[in-house]
Amino acid sequence: MTIAGDAKTTLLPQLGTLEALLSGADERENKPLRSNAHIHLPPNFSAFDTVSQALDLAAQQGIEALGVSNYYDFQVYRDFADEAREHGVFPLYGLEVITRIEDLLQSGVKVNDPGNPGKMYLCGKGITGFAPMNDEACDLLAVIRQNDSERMAAMTLKLSRVFADRGLETGLTASAIKARVARRHDCPPDTVYLQERHLAQAFQEVLFERTPEEERASLLARLFSVPSQANLNDAVAVQGEIRSHLMKAGKAAFADETFVGFDHAYRLILSLGGIPCYPTLADGAAPICAFETPPDLLIRRIKERGIHCAELIPIRNTPAVLGEYVRAMRQAELVVTAGTEHNTLDLLPLDPTCLNGEPIPEDVRAIFQEGTCVVAAHQYLTLAGQPGFVDASGALNPAYPSANERIAAFARLGAAVIGRYREEFAHPTETV
């Protein structure tokens, strides 16, 4: 079995036959692997200015496998694939979708967003059907894009009116903000799907451009109806205050959320060839969201929804709580991955750590490594037209007698795939 075809060889170059890969699997399987399964790349709101910057840092920091999980457009993934190959970093392709679960909203249950009941973030891992997308994926994604674009346009209009009423005409529209993002990241405007952070950044930039420092405090007080607590030269802090004082539920520039339902997002992930994955907040919220506690109840809830993979962003978590959740998930035969998101302007290290930089427990890190390898194997197999970890209905691959044997087999193959890729493309000068 080999991978063939222009789009497919772009996403994952020829690595040889399955038999050849598995022949070297034993020596690669137990090697330590430094990975990060979840970042955002521009034109998503991101700590990185360019794809090259992200891959430069990954190579410098010794990251061997890196996963991108962008919202709503994947044209940047081709550049990511090319740059990853040049840097010898194994590329993992994913996506993130925001969903609204009506019954949880009505009952006031917070899922993995501490500020909004019923709002669930859902990820897809190892997607391969985006180059090109099939008709179902195109139709599902078109609905999400339309809903999201209409909401961002409405919020931009409301923000513009608030700023004008308080004495600052910004001239900003959704199209103008898209153009700013496109210029900043040197990308086509049609690849830009705005997020709240994009809007806050644009309005902060115009405020700083047109308002002298000595007048900012009074303008912000008029905008927020309370004095600003930010350093008036701190762009990121002012952006945060614009979001919290003007853009959240009940605030002057809030627009009703238009997110799709869970089933819509789940079908999109599967139609793109991915593994549905639940991003877990755990003690990234205080208190922990009701949907997520205790861990065994969270596991039951996501399994009931056909989800067999979970992910954490450890920088949000204490080592103790991270370990509690990850060990329980793996014991329940879920695949578990980890990432850093990098969806703010903070340029954190790419190797995940726990809250305050505390190290991830070694057994938990091993579970994350295993999860990365499972995703890599799924990606390799589905690009080759073979059955992956889950099929197009979300059902687990039935070719294994038990869940643990399935995970072990995919992890072994994934380690071989990543190892072979690194042998082919990694540069010996790359160091931590």
Residue pLDDT, tens place only, 179-223 = 999 999 999 999 999 999 999 999 999 999 999 999 999 999 999
Residues 94, 315: Cα–Cα separation, whole Å? 20
What pLDDT score does 5 carry? 42
DSSP string, 157-210: HHHHHHHHHTT------HHHHHHHHHHHHT--GGG----HHHHHHHHHHHHHHH
What pLDDT score does 12 carry? 76
pTM (2 d.p.): 0.93
Mean pLDDT score, 285-312: 98
Q: Residue 350 — φ and ψ, nearest 5°?
A: -80, -20
Give the least confident one: 24-28, 237-241, 291-295: 24-28
Give the least confident one: 37-41, 274-278, 421-425: 421-425
Residues 373, 321: Cα–Cα separation, whole Å? 24
Query: Does 16 have pLDDT greater than 90?
Result: no
Mean pLDDT score, 133-158: 97
Residue pLDDT, tens place only, 316-331 = 999 999 999 999 999 9
What pLDDT score does 11 carry? 77
Tokens of 283: 């003690």
In the sheet where 119-125 sits, what is the strand order? 35-39, 65-70, 90-100, 119-125, 275-280, 309-312, 335-338
Query: Does 271 have pLDDT greater than 90?
Result: yes
What pLDDT score does 22 carry? 74
Q: Where are the domains of the chain?
A: 6-133+272-425, 147-247
What pLDDT score does 131 carry? 86
What pLDDT score does 428 carry? 58
pLDDT above 70 as % of the chain: 95
Higher pLDDT, residue 5 or 319: 319
User: Chain-wide mean pLDDT for the chain?
Assistant: 93
Tokens of 408: 């072990």
What pLDDT score does 26 carry? 65
pLDDT above 90 as % of the chain: 87
Give the least confident one: 150-159, 398-407, 423-432: 423-432
Residues 428, 59: Cα–Cα separation, whole Å? 11
> What is the rounded end-to-end Cα distance, in angstroms, of the chain?
35
Query: Does 341 have pLDDT greater than 80?
Result: yes
What pLDDT score does 29 carry? 63
Torsion (CA) 411, 309, 2, 430 in degrees, nearest 10 = -60
Mean pLDDT score, 375-394: 95
CATH-assigned architecture of domain 6-133+272-425: Alpha-Beta Barrel (3.20)
pLDDT-derived band at 1 (thresholds 50, 70, 90) equals very low
What pLDDT score does 356 carry? 96
Higher pLDDT, residue 356 or 3: 356
